[in-house]
Amino acid sequence: MNSIRYRDEDLQLRDGTLLKSRIWSPKGEGPWPVLLMRQPYGREIASTITYAHPSWWASKGYLVVIQDVRGQGGSEGKFSGFSQEASDTSQTHNWVRSLPECNGLLGTYGFSYQGLTQLIAEEGTPPPDCIIPAMTGLSEDEHWSCEGGAFWWHLGIGWGLQLAAQKAQREKNWRAWNEISENLESKKYLYNGHDLLKKNDPHGMAYKWLNLSCSKNAQWKTHEPLDSWLKKPLLLIGGWWDPHLKGILDIYEKSKKAGGTPKLLIGPATHLQWWESAQRTQLDFFDSHLKEKNKKIHLPQINLWNLTTKSWELSIQNKSPTWNLRSEGLASISHLEGRLVHNSELEADSEVNLVHDPWRPVPAIGGHLSDSAGETNRFKLDIRPDVAVFTSNPILNELRLEGIPTLYLETKCDRESFDMFVALSIIPNEVENTATQLSTGVLRIANCDKGIKSARQIKLQPILATFKEGDRLRISISGSGWPAIGINPGQSQYLCEAPSPNCLVTTISLLLLNSKLKFESLISS
């Protein structure tokens, strides 16, 4: 790859703003198909935290263009987030196709923010020839900042401060940059992040979303890709422990509805840590659509990594069993008393009282929202007396569970607001002190009537897992998941943020008569 060369080049937009791009060229004369990434973190980085360096893609015969979006990196203008990208994307595509080294074919790639910039454009803009959005979404609420009404505390604050630090660097505001850096390194941002965002980036996306999440009548933005773009060859990449996975599933369904034939790949990945073969899978996809159009790639419509067998599988939308939650009232004090049972009848409404003490909140570990994302053993959490645990009998026959775990039950509470943090785990056969967490979910209940019974529904992160004979299934419920979500103070005049003297001890009553756990289809269409 020593022969790979690069240069920087400017695009002047209609309003006079200059966008800076770095262009890597293969060896030879060209012209070549182009791979484009538009991102806000600096073209020199080029998302190498998850992607191979642009020189590698160029060595495979592609002209690679990494562009700093408006107001970021070397580009001029003021950065205003997603709202600026449709127009700038359209103009960039037109410019890229006009480059003398471009043969007219264009593919796009990138994850997270770079995923969304691939999907939104002005009406009438010709689509790319193929698109690979990874770990992204279209709803600024459900796919970018909140789950079950709860703001992604650790993720949202941390990302917002990263953008605030970049803003401070551009402005040469070293006091602000150092303050943000020190708070991120010491993790003090978990406690003062709201004030840091307000002080250093009050007009930024993260601060806007944090405030919207607290609003009773929030007007959230959902971005709409053009149907002509959704019909193009589309490879959607998600991770079981990535917070944007539901956004990827939503894009898949929108593409199908528009008449497209998207490919969906969900692997053993957090937002920043991917699996080994991800780069070559994307290269094969690009090659089949931009270079060797008759090349057959062995990529199923939906390809999923099984969390327990550690292997790739096709999607099989089989109907899964339903479980009921049962307890004589001790499920929170004895981790073996609560049960998950099939089609159980209950003559009286059994009740489990769960006390959430904000002085020692139940932490979130592993999963897709915590600061330690990924697979984890939550056994030590499950034996806490402020976690209600319901465990099945040993599985008699191998059981494959694919879809979105969804918990239904009724609750009462002695406060006007509370949270429910739910985990689904596998208890491996004959393995002691182990509860391997497969999925988590959260529901924030605000402005509820104290002491009044109400039905609740909590959707967890999608999964694919196979339970072998002797394994057991477990549901764990707590009143917090710190710092994945802020602590609910139990009273509406205060924000859900770090633990504080304003946070009240809260008793959540789980009413089990009509409770059930079921798995909804991964894809509804």
116-120, 215-219, 237-241, 349-353: the lowest-pLDDT one = 215-219
pLDDT for 160 beyond 60: yes
pLDDT at 450: 87
Q: Which long-range contacts (CB under 8 A, 24 or more apart) does 340-347 make?
A: 340/390, 340/391, 340/392, 340/473, 340/474, 340/475, 340/517, 341/392, 341/393, 346/512, 346/513
Evaluate whether 220 touches 139 at the Cβ level (below 8 Å).
yes
Helices 174-186 and 189-200, axial angle in degrees (round to 10) = 160
pLDDT for 54 beyond 90: yes
106-110, 264-268, 448-452: the lowest-pLDDT one = 448-452
Determine the Cα–Cα distance for residues 417 and 424; give it in Å rounded to an integer.
Answer: 24
Local confidence band at 294 (pLDDT 50, 70, 90 cut-offs): low
CATH 2.60.120.260 region(s) of the chain? 323-520
Give the tokens for residue 243: 């917070």
> What is the phi-psi region of residue 96: left when phi exceeds 0, alpha when psi lies from -120 to 50, beta otherwise?
alpha
Find the Cα–Cα–Cα–Cα dihedral 518, 422, 218, 191, rounded to 10°.
-170
pLDDT at 298: 78
Determine the Cα–Cα distance for residues 137 and 403; give it in Å rounded to an integer.
Answer: 19
> What is the fold of 323-520?
Jelly Rolls (2.60.120)
Q: Which long-range contacts (CB under 8 A, 24 or more apart) does 44-53 make?
A: 44/73, 46/22, 47/110, 47/111, 47/114, 49/272, 50/111, 50/134, 50/272, 50/274, 50/278, 51/109, 51/110, 51/111, 51/279, 52/279
Q: Is the pTM of this model over 0.85?
A: yes
pLDDT at 215: 86
104-108, 274-278, 319-323: the lowest-pLDDT one = 319-323
DSSP for 113-180, written as a single string: HHHHTTT---TTPPPPSEEEEES--SBTTTTTTEETTEEBHHHHHHHHHHHHHHHHHHTT-HHHHHHH
Q: Phi and psi at residue 257, in whole multiples of 5°?
A: -65, -35
Nearest to 456 by CA among 406, 386, 404, 391: 406
pLDDT for 326 beyond 70: yes
pLDDT for 149 beyond 60: yes
- Give the rounded distance of the alpha carbon of 78 from its chain centre: 27
pLDDT digits (tens, 9 = 90+) for 472-525: 999 999 999 999 999 999 998 899 999 999 999 999 999 999 999 999 999 886
Between residues 349 and 407, the one the model is more confident about: 407
Residue with tokens 């998850």: 50
> What is the fold of 5-138+223-299?
Rossmann fold (3.40.50)
pLDDT at 524: 82
Whole-angstrom CA distances from 285 to 235, 426, 474 are 8, 35, 39
| pLDDT, the chain, mean | 95
For residue 200, the SS3 value is helix
> How are beta strands 32-39 and 63-68 bridged, if at all?
parallel
pLDDT for 1 beyond 60: no
Determine the Cα–Cα distance for residues 395 and 377; give it in Å rounded to an integer.
Answer: 20
Number of neighbours of residue 245 by Cβ within 10 angstroms: 21
Arithmetic mean of pLDDT, 129-156:
97
pLDDT at 181: 97
Helices 205-213 and 189-200, axial angle in degrees (round to 10) = 120
Helices 153-170 and 205-213, axial angle in degrees (round to 10) = 150
Residue with tokens 């803003």: 167
Evaluate whether 36 touches 89 at the Cβ level (below 8 Å).
no
Nearest to 144 by CA among 242, 268, 229: 242
End-to-end CA distance of the chain: 44
CATH 3.40.50.1820 region(s) of the chain? 5-138+223-299
Local confidence band at 30 (pLDDT 50, 70, 90 cut-offs): confident
Angle at 187 between CA 185 and CA 188, to 5 degrees: 115
Determine the Cα–Cα distance for residues 136 and 24; give it in Å rounded to an integer.
Answer: 25
Determine the Cα–Cα distance for residues 284 and 295; give it in Å rounded to an integer.
Answer: 9
396 Cβ neighbours under 8 A, 6+ residues apart? 469
pLDDT for 293 beyond 70: no
State yes or no: cis peptide before 499, omega within 30 of 0: no
pLDDT at 451: 82
Arithmetic mean of pLDDT, 264-292:
96
pLDDT at 14: 97
Nearest to 286 by CA among 238, 251, 237: 237
Alpha helices in 370-411 (DSSP H): 379-382
pLDDT for 192 beyond 70: yes
pLDDT digits (tens, 9 = 90+) for 333-358: 999 999 999 877 666 678 999 999 99
Helices 174-186 and 153-170, axial angle in degrees (round to 10) = 150
Whole-angstrom CA distances from 395 to 259, 315, 376, 378 are 41, 22, 21, 20
For residue 248, the SS3 value is helix
pLDDT for 376 beyond 90: yes
pLDDT at 216: 82
